[in-house]
Amino acid sequence: MAKRSVFISGGGPAGLAAALLFDQLGWDEIVLAERRPSPSDFEKNKSFNYLVDRRGLRILERLGIADRMYQCGVDTTNFTATTIAPDGSVHTRVVPIIDPDRPTCFWTTRRALLTMLYCAIEEKGSERLRVLYGHGVAGIERSDDGRVSVKVENPAGDIEAFAPDLILACDGLNSAIRAALIEQSETPAGFFDMIAGDSISTGLRYKVLNLPSQFTAAGGKVAVNDNRMSYIIPSRHKDRRKACALYAFPVVDPSHPRSVNLIREGDHELWTLKSGEELLAWMEDSFPQLDVRALVSREEADDFVGLEAGAFPAPQYARNLHIALGPDSAKTQVLLIGDAAHAFPPDLGLGVNAALQDLDILAKEIDQAGSIEQAATRYAKMRWPEARDLVWVVEKTFPEQYNHRPLRLKLWALGFFGRWGLHKLAPGLFDKPAFLLSQDPDMPYGEMKRRKLRTDFRFRALVGGIAAILTAGLATLTFS
């Protein structure tokens, strides 16, 4: 394949990994534009914890940087968590809804993953590759003969133009490239619309709070000091609008603050707090097991209140992932990758893995195809049904986990353990529960969907059958 130029919009996990990939592929010119001002500028409200599994690791292996996950993440197979209850009691358990046989995954943070990828780019020092921070993609421009260029606003506010052979939209859910594609004359109506599903976790609001790397709880009796451990700190309240739990996931650096996500519905009282002082008082009331004022500074509390809460998106995927624009003599291929192609709430922790998996599939198609147009077409053909089924799997599998609908969570748990028990009794008839299937990094999402639908049907038929027999038995007893 002739070597060409690629423009990458967005320097999130997908964008940075794509830059490394095209450098490895030997392309002549690789330009990545990222609107954040610098590689060390991380949006505070995006201090997410990621669990990178084999879906995400494959492209890192190809890039020769998978081993670096041991430096930027905590390797794990199961999920062990220590719960510190409001009364100070402590329980450490292996969470039973995680498949103990899954291959090694890595707990990391968005910050650590982006830093690792950026450092790998820096170390390569490739002259062909330019990463432009503080550069916001502003749209797509056409010359008189229809040639395509990407408009980018630089830090001085000037517009620069790039005319590549391939554009990768790695700029997230609100992709500027996808928005610009919709306006192109070649784009049929609705071609890049997002097809959105419905999930009870959609719209949940979240903010991130930083706790110290190590601290004590329960009046100094419990040390929260194991960086490889997950800690769960539930509040003393049960009411849906008051209850909350702090989840601190493993971090590789023992001196790194523990960032905890607070995820609740829009009508939760957390979102009504107006000052740092109100937050501290609310936390003292909710978490008697914590010495709140020793853990959260007034500054951190003010920061937290000042942050705008994020909201989980609806599970959604783009109606198409690829288009070729411009005259035949100078076609530009445009592909959607990562959240620009498919986005959803983080219920199954699949977002970053799916984004990296997109690149792995694209890399394989480029290896096999004779031209970039062929590779782009094949990527879209392969990946689109998977994006659709992935979104379906996320929507249907475990949106109850945030416990914002306690009854739904209890029903989910009944269904989960019921299906698991049946699977153990009759594996040929009943598959594992979908949440366990979603932990298998080798299973295509289409297969997961097929198995979930089949097991759900059989499970409901069995439960319905047992209920009918019991009702009939009861009726017979009553009338005899």
What residues line the site for ligand FAD (CB under 6 A)?
A: 9-15, 33-36, 48-51, 136-137, 170-172, 176, 206, 310, 338-339, 346, 349-353, 355
Residue number with CB closer to ligand FAD (217 or 248): 248
User: What's the CA gap between 389 and 445, in Å, rounded?
Assistant: 5
Could you tell me which residues come within 8 angstroms of residue 79 by beta carbon, excluding any fewer than 6 positions away?
A: 94, 95, 98, 230
| Strand 166-169 to 332-336 pairing | parallel
Q: Which is nearer to ligand FAD, 79 or 430 (CB)?
A: 79
- What amino acid occupies position 38? S
Nearer to ligand FAD, 63 or 217 (CB): 63
**Smallest distance from ligand FAD to CB 25, Å:** 19
* CB of residue 99 to ligand FAD, shortest distance in Å: 17
DSSP 223: E
| 214 CB neighbour count, 10 Å cutoff | 14
The C-alpha R_g of the chain, in whole angstroms, comes to 24
Q: For tokens 């954040």, what's the residue?
A: 36
Token pair for residue 277?
């002082």
Q: How far is the CB of 304 from ligand FAD (least distance, A)?
A: 15
CB of 329 to ligand FAD, least distance (A): 28
Taking the C-alpha atoms of residue 173 and residue 313, their distance in angstroms, rounded to an integer, is 9
State the nearest-atom distance from the C-beta of 89 to ligand FAD, in Å.
Answer: 28
Sheet holding 342-343, edge to edge: 194-196, 316-318, 342-343
Q: Which is nearer to ligand FAD, 107 or 430 (CB)?
A: 107
Q: Smallest gap, in angstroms, from Cβ of residue 174 to ligand FAD?
A: 7
CB of 403 to ligand FAD, least distance (A): 16
Distance (Å, whole) CA 386 – CA 450: 12
Please give the C-alpha separations between residue 322 and each of 104, 181, 282, 318, 355, in angstroms, as whole numbers: 33, 10, 49, 10, 16
Nearer to ligand FAD, 351 or 399 (CB): 351
Question: Whose Cβ is closer to ligand FAD: residue 276's or residue 351's?
Answer: 351
DSSP letter assigned to residue 173: T
Q: Are strands 5-9 and 29-34 parallel, antiparallel or unpaired?
A: parallel
* Rounded-to-integer distance, Cα 15 and Cα 172, Å: 10
Interacting residues of 23 by C-beta distance below 8 A, sequence separation 6+: 30, 121, 124, 126, 128, 129
Cβ of residue 195: shortest distance to ligand FAD, in angstroms?
17
* 357 close to 337: Cβ distance less than 8 angstroms: no
Q: State which residue, 13 or 288, has the beta carbon closest to ligand FAD.
A: 13
Nearer to ligand FAD (CB atom), residue 313 or residue 433: 313
